Chains A and B, each alone.
Chain A
């Protein structure tokens, strides 16, 4: 009896190795791809993948002088095919779970990126924490070919610099796949993506010399926001408009702006807190839209003569700031209404929430209604601190 049981147990135990390990991959069998670029040429998708050479990134035993990343490129009718096809040039299978960024070439973006996104959202492998970007004025392949200093892996540099810029400068927006799809599916909204551009000599950026020089020949720069109508790129917002966009959609955490002084010169103000809300309602079949913005600021730099110790001066500065901010936000709304005739700020969504009944009749041609809608912008600014100085030291010298 025990013999029988033992042999049965042994037989069961032998089943374990039989199953093999179908999903098992050793770390050194992975081609860790950190960025993917998607372009289109001759009706074929051209996929560019930036793969890390781990030994070159972290090795302390002395690198062999290779570049930290390498690029694989393949064409295919579908993206999935193209990626698999890369095994013809790559010794390892592309591993996409650690994607940091997916970059679309501007030509493809203008054609529409919806189809290209299907694989990324359908496949189980990629985590959904990577950022979507558009390569401004160039192809994704070019943008991914630039080597970067400080962050050895260019994809990491893209990822980090978007995060940092979003936190500290404002005119960029880190958009993940889920956010993009959410905005796309939302009838009262349209997606935006951050743009990335190559400044300098892109060709030279692909060699190791680029990171060996103090002033790299080519650099990657975050540049404005790309406005989409559904999945099609329709244009770009400049820095000021991008900033206005972020103010309006409540995506400003910390930024610096400037306010003109009464007698010439400027005062730089640091925004420390910004809270915005977009409202929409329907009155008599016409949408009434509003943006309300509450901002707290510190005075950061004074380049004109003003007496900051006086409450009146500070109040005056607050009024001027409000005016400036209103202009910025209005500029963005203007661009949405006149230039692109597209609601990418989510006013439609606000109307939908406020008045679902009225939204039903508006939604079919919302963009038309949006174009002609009146938008109120209300800005309220509080200046909290003036830094470690009261008045400028120049001011003191004159007293």
Chain B
């Protein structure tokens, strides 16, 4: 079947062709009726998909005007054929987005996007009117990136709502949105947002190039795009940030980064993404600078705990007992009396148990949550120790590790940390501290080799930049945050000039 088939002048033929083009789907609504055209009744049909449009509006703004007001009002001299369409468009249909359509492909595409197609008999042309409207989730509080102080809006599954949320924060003509459709079957609306004049053109071209080269049938979530366009496939570290917070997107755009919005998911991708950004929470910028700095230090400390503590415990208790204070050694070995497993196996059992509990907690139906958590706590906490299978100190190590990994604000990074933890545990069990340090060196080499859209992943620490240290471990006072990060905001580096009002009368 020829998909570029044009409309014909017979209404019936057009309807039949469209029907067969859509393979006879039953949710296509076809309503035929007559309108007056200078006294002569003329057949006309409106088509739409049930559920994708606002039916009330169709009745009110399409059918009612057509049925009652199609006849020209004053004495008219519009007698030529095209004039009926123009008349309908110009003075009858009281709708905003109305476009002419004359091919089956365009018609079916707009139908699936939630448009109403109006085809009068005797014309090889019609209109499609955008009246998309369907049930959707309202803008709610973010679920994974919560804050105490700060905006409590989160993106929804609707890309229009999402772009509107960003536009409501940045009211500037330089904020640009470019859309494209990706996915041969899903035809997902993917939009790229950036601020002209701040964004690095090179990175933007790279984003567009990579998006353009995606050739797949379906994009269902931002993760699909992320995997297609990330720099390095074989790494556990995320090189694209995702967020469900409009304020985070706005802040990133202002830093010169690029946002990629995908229809159907509340997660927006941000590129380029750097290692240090995974340790910056939105709230850092809303609270005072001093506490934000302290909390960042805490996060890096938590990173250290989450990555290394089980490995260090295994290494020190099985290879380097001489490093422990005598009292601690005695108390640890008292706990280990009668524990049947080597420390490494013990750690592995507990870490695995914890991961199982965590996964079950995410996946299980809400109703059984209580049961699993009770069993989990008892198994992990009490019974294993009482039975003498696991030592109490191991429970402490696993718990502090588990909690620490969630101090990292971005879930993507805490996944990466969880994976490295197991690698380090293996190294510690095989080679002790020596293995841990070999692993650390390898890890740092790997991190330094990564890039995100041309920007070194470890910047501004990797290639060191003194100027950018104001927002790495420190969160400098707002007055001192005068420039954008040099990694992406080179083109318009200055955020603010002198601050005049210093709060003195």
Contact = CB atoms under 8 A, between A and B. Distances in A.
Interface of A: 16-17, 19, 21, 23-28, 30, 32, 34, 52, 54-55, 57-59, 95, 97-98, 100, 125, 127, 153, 156
A98 B333 contact: no
A30 B429 contact: no
Given A24-B342, A58-B335, A98-B322, 4 more contacts: A17-B430, A21-B318, A32-B329, A59-B334
A93 to B, nearest CB: 12
B318 A52 contact: no
Contacts of B342: 24, 26
Contact of B343 (A27, A52, A54): A27
Nearest to B393: A27
A219 B379 CA distance: 46
Given A26-B336, A55-B337, A97 B317 contact: no
B331 A27 contact: no
B20 interface: no
Contacts of A59: 334, 337
A25 B321 CA distance: 9
Contacts of A23: 319, 432
Given A34-B326, A57-B330, A127-B322, A28 B430 contact: no
A58 B321 contact: no
A58 B330 contact: yes
B336 A27 contact: yes
Contacts of A95: 321
A36 to B, nearest CB: 14
Contact of A30 (B326, B333, B426): B333
Given A54-B330, A54-B337, A27 B432 contact: no
B332 interface: yes
A30 B321 contact: yes
B432 A52 contact: no
A156 B336 contact: no
Given A24-B319, A25-B318, A26-B343, A58 B430 contact: no
Interface string B324-365: 001001111111111100110000000000000000000000
B431 to A, nearest CB: 8
Contact of B333 (A16, A24, A54, A97): A54
Contact of B330 (A17, A19, A24, A52): A52
B343 A58 contact: no
Contacts of A21: 318, 429-430
A contact patch SS? mixed
Interface string B293-326: 0000000000000000000000001110110001
Interface in B418-438: 426, 429-430, 432
Contacts of A27: 317-318, 321, 329, 332-333, 336, 343
9 contacts: A17-B430, A23-B319, A24-B318, A26-B318, A26-B342, A28-B336, A58-B334, A59-B334, A156-B326
Interface residues of B, number: 23
B237 to A, nearest CB: 20
A58 B429 CA distance: 27
A32 B333 CA distance: 9
B54 to A, nearest CB: 53
Most buried by B among A26, A59, A98: A26
B336 A16 contact: no
A54 B317 contact: no
A82 to B, nearest CB: 22
A27 B338 CA distance: 10
B contact patch SS? helix
Contacts of B329: 27, 32, 98
A55 B334 contact: yes
B322 A32 contact: no
Contacts of A26: 317-318, 336, 342-343
Contacts of B333: 27-28, 30, 32, 54
Nearest to A52: B330
A18 to B, nearest CB: 10
A25 B322 CA distance: 12
Contacts of B321: 25, 27, 30, 95, 97-98
Contacts of A54: 330-331, 333-334, 337
A156 B338 CA distance: 25
Contacts of A100: 326
Nearest to A61: B386
Interface string B203-241: 000000000000000000000000000000000000000
The 10 lowest CB-CB distance pairs between A and B, nearest first, are A97-B322, A54-B334, A27-B333, A58-B334, A54-B333, A27-B336, A58-B331, A28-B336, A98-B326, A55-B337
Nearest to A56: B334
Nearest to B314: A24
A4 to B, nearest CB: 17
B310 to A, nearest CB: 15
Contacts of A30: 321, 333
A28 B339 contact: yes
A63 to B, nearest CB: 10
Contacts of B332: 27
Nearest to B337: A55
A386 B424 CA distance: 61
B397 to A, nearest CB: 14
Nearest to B392: A60
A24 B337 CA distance: 17
B76 to A, nearest CB: 73
A25 B316 CA distance: 10
Nearest to B432: A23
Nearest to A155: B326
A19 B318 contact: no
A348 B317 CA distance: 46
A57 B426 CA distance: 32
A24 B342 CA distance: 10
A277 B334 CA distance: 47
Contacts of B331: 54, 57-58
A34 B329 CA distance: 11
B337 A19 contact: no
Contacts of B334: 54-55, 57-59
Interface in B18-37: none
A32 B327 CA distance: 11
A23 B318 CA distance: 8
